[in-house]
Structure 1
Amino acid sequence: MPSTTTSRRPLNPRALRRRSVLGGGAALLGAGALSGCGIPSAYVAEDRRSAPDRSETDRRMAFSNWTQYIDVDDRGRRPTLDAFTEKTGIAVTYTEDINDNDEFFGKISPVLTEGADPGRDLMVISDWMAGRYVSLGWVQAMDQANLPNVTANLDPQLARPAFDPGRRRSVPWQSGITGIAYNRKAIGRELGSTADLWAPDLKGRVTLFAGLDEALGLLMLSQGADVSRFTDDDAHRAMDLVQKMVDNGHVRRFTGNDYTGDLASGAALACQAYSGDAVQLTAENPDIAFLVPEEGAELWAESLMIPNRAEHKRNAELLIDYYYQPEVAAQLAAAVQYICPVPAAREVLAASGDKDKAELAENPLVFPTDEMRARLRTMRDVTSAERPALHKVWGRITGV
């Protein structure tokens, strides 16, 4: 279980969250899923999305999340959730039943397509996949009147993703950066850009993410692309470079979360990496550094969404807004150590009087500095029309 402090702890297996495979999700949104008028056959019209809201008389709700993605105390309790129930009287059935975006998509898609009760009122979905839910009409718009803390405290850099302008159907739970982790002692120098991965002395000691959605943004940024509106040419230019590096033996392999083992063992000297893992990797080995390249890195989020036909919508909105109180957000940030979507939580941790929490408040991988923020970019989602062709090329390169 995750610690409630910033002390060392095992690497979080939930980092597999952004793995993309040609599974149920990709297949459903491929070319065969489009009707003659260009609308996905699984699309749910606006008038079929809501169910009668039982929140006023039924003080319950169900929340699906990833493993190790909430604060847990030494007795296995979840302090922030318990405090929410005590404050509001809303009992939360909390289930860690999301292990992979595509797997969960495959599990819930028949229910949402048929307009049946999804059995949950809230779920946490990675933004690249959240775009599919929005485009399919599978999630409900939230009542902004129930989200005053979100309005006041949401990180502006996360407020306008291409798939959901204004965050009407999604609210970040936690955020992170896809950048580069490397062993500076073994390499003998600091790295400054993604292009440094291709230095001759790193041949055979570099790993990249196997998932298209995970790998592509950083690679396109290194070539000067605007990832918020990247073109087909931008994507293919980046993939051409990777193909060249595979052909000449420069890329050791393509990974999921197992990149952390390669880096820790020395099999890899540099790799694409997630900032949340880097916090822990660096705690275990100070020689490992995390780089936000000078030309930019990808900023992403995993977001709370309310599925269609949820029966406790207002209760879910109250829970979302509760976690946007700086004091609550700070408690969650201290536990999970990803980028906190509530910048005001930093001051809460800094003033806590706890040495570990005060150090966390100064960690730029939890609360990015202004200088780091200037290099962060949000990638638009790969559309259903683009995905089959891009996956075909990427699959040929990676062997996945």
Structure 2
Amino acid sequence: MPTSRRQFLSTSAATLSSLALSGCGWTLASVNAKPVSTATDELYLYTWAGYTDDDLLDRFQEITGIRAVADVFDSNEAMLARLQASGGGGYSIIYPSDYMVQKMVELDFLQALDPSQLIGMNRLFDRFQDPRYDPSNRHSVPLSWGTSGIIYNRALLDDHPQDWDYFWTHQDQLHKRITLLNDAREVMGATLRSLGFSYNSSNPAELRAAYEKLQQLKPAIAAFSSDAWRNQMLTGDLLAAMCYSSDANEVMAENPDLEYVLPLSGSSLFIDTLAIPRTAPNVPGAYAWINFMLQPDVAAEICKRLSFAVPNEVAFEMLPAKLRDNQSLFPPDPAIGRCEGLIPVDDTTSELYDRYWTRLTSS
């Protein structure tokens, strides 16, 4: 199976370090709506690598009296499999991505959230308050987000990409100096958008059209890679690559000639969330953690440390101007309005995606 976005990000995301929270002056009352001493003084988190560190956990304990312990997973699928195998594993907070929230709700694995116990949901940008994958945030709270797009070397290209079709219209110039992600849904989705279809299409005729268009581009593609493009972009061996915004933001800091563009026809928008499993042993502590992460100071530090965009509007306003104006992290309209979150497809459609992907990458 192709490497997923999250499998890659879990090993490459920068680790949170030295989170400067000591002067915030928070109290338990401002972090959690109710006392958290009713269940246990321990809270077990199941999260992505790089999303917590000792300073963050220690500060949470200082405020709430709850000792938080974090275990990490490397993909949404691995997280779900472990929770299913262990009957929940004793975790009270998990970090599923958008499409996994939808899947876990269908499996009746997540608790419905009590809005009266959440503080700060009104701080979220409007687009994150009623997401397609979880209407009205009934089972999850958005934590971070990003997009897929194109990173390119503006010093080596006369014409700069604005949309996915650039790969096809400049195929001769880009020959063997472009890479696409090693992800079937992302690559097929981008091609579907270039054809005017949904990133999540399940129409067999549309999927075939996307596959045939990709076959036309195949001779120009150096590799399907979610990682190796980084060094190749820095050395100038590649002219352009399909990538994720958070990764592009990190690499661009090393070379001022590199630029990230969110394709005008639209792309994918991914969201990582906080959710409470139905089997959570410490539900009050889970709400305390969610409210802690909704604090603007904490959300702003996540953006600074991890290169992820935050859905918290108040936190966004607290960021330095350089970050607020960073269009790789916070892309403007109209492209952002045309983005879609990946959603699960039925088994028949999934098999069709896999069949076309196997043909494309093995031929």
TM-score, scaled relative to structure 1: 0.76
Corresponding residue for residue 39 of structure 2: 57
Q: Distance in 1 between matches of 2:292 and 2:202?
A: 35
Q: Distance in 2 between matches of 1:385 and 1:145?
A: 41
What is the letter of the counterpart of residue 369 of structure 1? P
What is the letter of the counterpart of residue 58 of structure 1? T
Q: Distance in 1 between matches of 2:190 and 2:233?
A: 19
Comparing 195-204 and 100-109, the one that deviates more: 100-109
Corresponding residue for residue 102 of structure 1: 77
Shift of 1:371: 4.8
Corresponding residue for residue 36 of structure 1: none
Q: Distance in 2 between matches of 1:57 and 1:107?
A: 24
Alignment of 1:128 onto 2:128: no
Alignment of 1:78 onto 2:59: no
Corresponding residue for residue 292 of structure 1: 262
List aligned pairs for 1:114-193, cutoff 5 A. 116-150=87-121, 152-193=122-163
Deviations 1:201-260 (A, max 9, x none): 1122221112223323322211111336663433332222112322xx111111122332
Q: 1:84 to 1:90 in 2, by over 3 A?
A: same
List aligned pairs for 1:223-238, cutoff 5 A. 223-227=195-199, 231-238=203-210
Q: Which runs of 5+ in 2 are unaligned?
A: 12-35
Shift of 1:143: 1.6
What is the letter of the counterpart of residue 393 of structure 1? Y
Deviations 1:121-163 (A, max 9, x none): 112122233332222222222222111312x022222333333
Instruction: Return structure 1 stretches of 4+ with deviation > 6 angstroms.
Output: none
Q: Distance in 1 between matches of 2:269 and 2:6?
A: 18
| Count, aligned residues | 333
CA contact (8 A) 1:194 1:293 kept: yes
Q: 1:18 to 1:78 in 2, by over 3 A?
A: closer
Q: 1:271 to 1:120 in 2, by over 3 A?
A: same
Q: Distance in 1 between matches of 2:10 and 2:358?
A: 16
Corresponding residue for residue 34 of structure 1: none
Shift of 1:18: 8.7
CA contact (8 A) 1:121 1:306 kept: yes
Q: Distance in 1 between matches of 2:256 and 2:362?
A: 33
Identity over aligned pairs, percent: 27
Alignment of 1:212 onto 2:184: yes
- State the superposition RMSD in angstroms: 2.6
TM-score, scaled relative to structure 2: 0.83
Structure 1 residue matching 2:309: 3-state secondary structure: coil
CA contact (8 A) 2:147 2:244 kept: yes
Comparing 158-167 and 187-196, the one that deviates more: 158-167
Corresponding residue for residue 19 of structure 2: none
Q: Which runs of 5+ in 1 are unaligned?
A: 1-12, 20-53, 350-356
CA contact (8 A) 2:6 2:74 kept: yes
CA contact (8 A) 2:10 2:50 kept: no
Alignment of 1:322 onto 2:297: no
